[in-house]
Amino acid sequence: MPDDVQKEELNRLNQEIVELEKRLGGLYWVRKEKYGVVPVEFAPWLDVKLVGRARLLWHRDEIFDNVPKKSKIAEVGILKGDFSRIIFEKAEPHELHLIDNDFSHFDPGSLLNEIDKRVFIHNGDSSTVMQEIFGDNFFDVIYIDADHSYDGVSKDIRAAQRKIKPGGLLAFNDYMNWSPLESREYGVMRAVNELIVSARWPVVFFAFHDLGYHDIVVQRPPAEKPRTRIFHAWRSYWTGGRKSGRKSDLTSGF
């Protein structure tokens, strides 16, 4: 523990850093226009149609009060396993798959007796594990919280997109561009917004965090039911051949 003199010196240094960061932050546009360097990239804007039906949650734990019980869930990025235990208690999953490339901090606690029964450990790079271990359309929910760089999250998204069932949920922790606790760029918001915009997967939940490390949950649109030839003939008769616009993608129970 630092003594009082060291604490005073640390506080002074901290204040200097805060001032420096303020000045650098204020120079964002100068840096971009004059030198072409930026400390953080903007995320694409989202279409109102893809966010307007989202529910706001006070805390990320609440996400797992709202997922179907007995489902197949993956948590990607585990650390100590604190959130794994919350997912397990709240969602009562049929299978919970825990994926991390470093389990040295993991404390299974109350999950110990469930390992290899309903809880499965996968040690390795997250996107590689998702791609290689699981079949397509396997999971009901995937919670992504591993490598927070833009490239890391984008890789996890590309893998997870195929592994989630139609109507399933893809959830992300730390939905932000910049981490105030580490003073470094996070690529989560940019990568997630790109998914929402390009795949048109709507936002279904947004959960608040007190330092801005919010969670966001998007839904893979449910599969369209196959239509019969009679339905097509009937629709064509009533619409004069025009395709009717679908009202909403959110047809499942979430």
Ligand X SMILES: C[S@@+](CC[C@H](N)C(=O)[O-])C[C@H]1O[C@@H](n2cnc3c(N)ncnc32)[C@H](O)[C@@H]1O
Binding stretches for ligand X (CB under 6 A): 75, 77-79, 82-83, 100-102, 125-126, 145-147, 152, 173
Q: Is 175 left (phi over 0), alpha (psi -120 to 50) or beta?
A: beta
Closer Cβ to ligand X, 127 or 249, answer by number: 127
Tokens standing for residue 92: 């009562």
| Shortest distance, position 127 Cβ to ligand X, whole Å | 7
Q: How far is the CB of 250 from ligand X (least distance, A)?
A: 26
Give CA–CA dist 149/86, Å, rounded: 25
* C-alpha to C-alpha distance for 81 and 78, rounded to whole angstroms: 5
User: Strands 203-207 and 215-219, how do they pair?
Assistant: antiparallel
Please provide residue 119's backbone torsions phi and psi, each rounded to the nearest 5 degrees.
-115, 130
Query: Distance between CA 159 and CA 150 in Å, rounded?
Result: 14
Q: Which is nearer to ligand X, 50 or 76 (CB)?
A: 76
Task: Indicate the residue among 101 and 251 with the shorter CB distance to ligand X.
Answer: 101
Q: Is the Cβ of residue 61 or residue 251 nearer to ligand X in the bound state?
A: 61
User: Cα 23 vs. chain centroid, distance in angstroms?
Assistant: 32
Residue 14: C-alpha distances to residues 9, 11, 19, 24 (Å): 9, 5, 9, 15
Question: Minimum distance between the CB of residue 150 and ligand X, rounded to whole angstroms?
Answer: 13
Task: Please state the closest distance from residue 79 (CB atom) to ligand X, in A.
Answer: 4
Least separation in angstroms between CB 120 and ligand X: 15
Cβ-closest position to ligand X:
77
Question: Residue 77 CB, nearest distance to ligand X (Å)?
Answer: 3
- What does 130-176 look like in DSSP terms, one character per residue? HHHHS-TT-EEEEEE-S--SHHHHHHHHHHHHHHEEEEEEEEESS--
Q: 167 vs 190, which CB is nearer to ligand X? A: 190
9 vs 102 by CB, closer to ligand X: 102
Measured from the CB atom, the residue of 50 and 91 that comes closer to ligand X is 91
Query: Which residues, including other chains, have CB under 8 Å from residue 136's CB and lie 6 or more apart?
Result: 162, 163
CB of 83: closest distance to ligand X in angstroms? 3
CA dihedral 21, 24, 26, 28 (to 10 degrees): -130
